[in-house]
Amino acid sequence: MIVTNSSDSRDTDEPNHGDALPSSGDAASRSGDRGPRGNDRHRGERQPHDDPARSHGHGGRGDRGGQGGHDGQKRGDRGRGRGGRGGRGGRGGRDFEDDKPRVALSPEILARLRAPIEDGNFVVFDIETTGGNPEKNGITEIFALRWHKGQVGDSFYSLVNPGIPVPPIVRRMTGINNAMLRGAPTIHKVMPEFIEFIGDDVLVSHNTIGDMKFLRYFAERHAKKPCNNFFMCTHLLVEKLVSEAPDKSLKGLSKFFDLRAGDLHRAEADAWLTLELFKVLSRRLDDRAVRTIEAGIRLQGDLESAARLGWGIKPDALRNLPHGPGVFYLYDHERRLVFLSCAGSLSREIAKLERYSQVPRALLRTVLRSYDIQVQRMPNIFAALLHECEGVANSTLQYDPVDWHQRGVTTFYISELAGATRLSVGHVAEGARYAFGPVRDRKFAHELLSRIATALGTTIHKNSVVIPPGAAPAVAALLQGTLKDLTKQTKRSLFSIRMLWQAARRRELRELSATCAKLETVTDVPKLRPLLDQSGVIIVPDEGTGTWQVHTIVASRTKAVQMIRGDWENKFELAGFGRRILDRINKEHKATEATPLNALEAAKVNATLWWIQTLGQRQDGFFLTTAELAEKLGKTPAS
């Protein structure tokens, strides 16, 4: 506790926020008078653990279970005012300007962060507030204790006059009322002393991001200095280390770990319970080989802290990266793969990830918790794309590399998966049987998807609509511009004599005819090209060996790759090489086209379509359709 001897807790130059709760002139909250709780805890003293309410804190934060805006919970709901996780819509972190941290880390701070957790200097704290927004609410109570090498040091405590009435919900939950705060010092007096107390130590609390909003706001206004302390949030760490805990509030975690709890929703009790929880989590961090404070901060996953720390990969590993195509892999401190991506130029693509403001937040979180990078050279970008597809299929990445490098083609595709037929807008996905495109105007595509859903009497969910069984041919015909032809063909078949003995088939045709009639109300549909019927060969150079890679493409799927040397055109004409490839394609095309794509095939089809669609921009290879290949070989293409 800090004892204030001033006869008036407010200086003459501080803002007048005390009308609702006028000060009595005695800083009672920071002397011996602590209201109903009494029992001062002085700086440098540690209270005996005889009283569980004093030794372990309270049992939980009831409504606090979520991390601010992340779980839709705010401290204002219970009078505590937890903030959110920071903005989600933008890119990069809050401390960035031109992709560099605004506050450089001193050697002293770096030394603290690189210290083992067991040797770290921590301040475990908690605050109580009147609501969720520091611009409209105030702090009512602060408690903090110093934790170093397994020992509790001095502590800090104060009630705070917020200058506004305490809402009824706060009074009920915390027991803090206007009478208790009337004689307390204002934040103008408390915050400078609290900032002095915490120094550069690493802060620890439960749902720290919301607490930091208040500390930063009032530190800048009343301490005239920023609060830039790094922190370890027990809530974020629980999400990473104890995801199985059903209730991640302090109250829930006290029960889960069998920790003794004291008064609910009071700063001192909360802070002591947070310390006990931090001890448990520190052991779990050690079990995961996370032994430094820096590693713990990276693991908790808050974007701002990770961005201030910068990339965990050693600078030497980022020097002299290859300039050619390939795939790079990012690993965390446990050598687990967290991200991979193909690249036309490995050095340029990896350098883009260092421009934090241009990296999507979800990817930036992943990138900043990586500790190692490995690269694999590839002969060309197409080979790198296919290798990426295989890598993604064999891992559990949280971020799809296609969403980063945008090497994909947006389509309308019809898929059959889990017993449902869907029409979707996006990259070709698992279960796809038809795909049409390319779609260049996503806004129009979603509007068209909505009109199709309305015609079929269904609704859009995200980028997809469930369509009736058997409707796929009609929807495909609509997108290809052949709906009228399908309608006529269906009616002719329906009234043919042979249908008299095929009741099931007649029923299917009636349903198809009805679907065609519904879709005829959808007008202004651009004629799109079918994309899952492309067959031929992709020929790309391998500059490392001086050879050519010949990829056989059947119904837009990559089937085989062969290597040839010298002039590939001559090779195709000699010894029947080209004819054997063409015969194989013609033999497999129909059977392959009728088969839904599996997940790996869908990824490779997406890569293949992108490569073919953008070939004119790159000119780094050749794509010959079966018709072009047959013409080159002087052979009539199969129908």
Q: Which residues does the annotation mark as catalytic?
A: 265
Closest CA to 101 of 110, 114, 112: 110
Q: In which residue are the tokens 């965390």 written? A: 332
Q: What type of residue is 319?
A: R
Q: In which residue are the tokens 């009308």 written? A: 19
In total, the chain counts a number of residues equal to: 639
- CB-based burial label for 168 (10 Å; 0-12, 13-18, 19+): exposed
Measure the CA–CA gap between 235 and 304, rounded to whole angstroms: 16
Q: How far is CA 163 from CA 27, 79, 373, in A?
A: 14, 15, 53
Tally of CB atoms within 10 A around 430: 15
First to last CA, the chain: 89
Provide the 8-state DSSP code for 222. Answer: I
Tally of CB atoms within 10 A around 441: 11
Beta bridge partners of 376: 327
Closest CA to 195 of 174, 164, 218: 218
Q: What type of residue is 317?
A: A
Provide the 8-state DSSP code for 545. Answer: T
CB 553 within 8 A of CB 534: yes
- CB-based burial label for 468 (10 Å; 0-12, 13-18, 19+): middle
CB 387 within 8 A of CB 378: yes
Measure the CA–CA gap between 250 and 296, rounded to whole angstroms: 20
| Residues 6+ positions from 225 with CB-CB distance below 8 Å | 195, 219
Measure the CA–CA gap between 430 and 416, rounded to whole angstroms: 8
Q: How far is CA 397 from CA 81, 295, 340, in A?
A: 34, 20, 8
Q: CA-CA-CA-CA torsion for 105, 111, 113, 115, nearest 10 degrees?
A: 180
Measure the CA–CA gap between 339 and 321, rounded to whole angstroms: 17
Measure the CA–CA gap between 397 and 118, rounded to whole angstroms: 32
CB 539 within 8 A of CB 548: yes
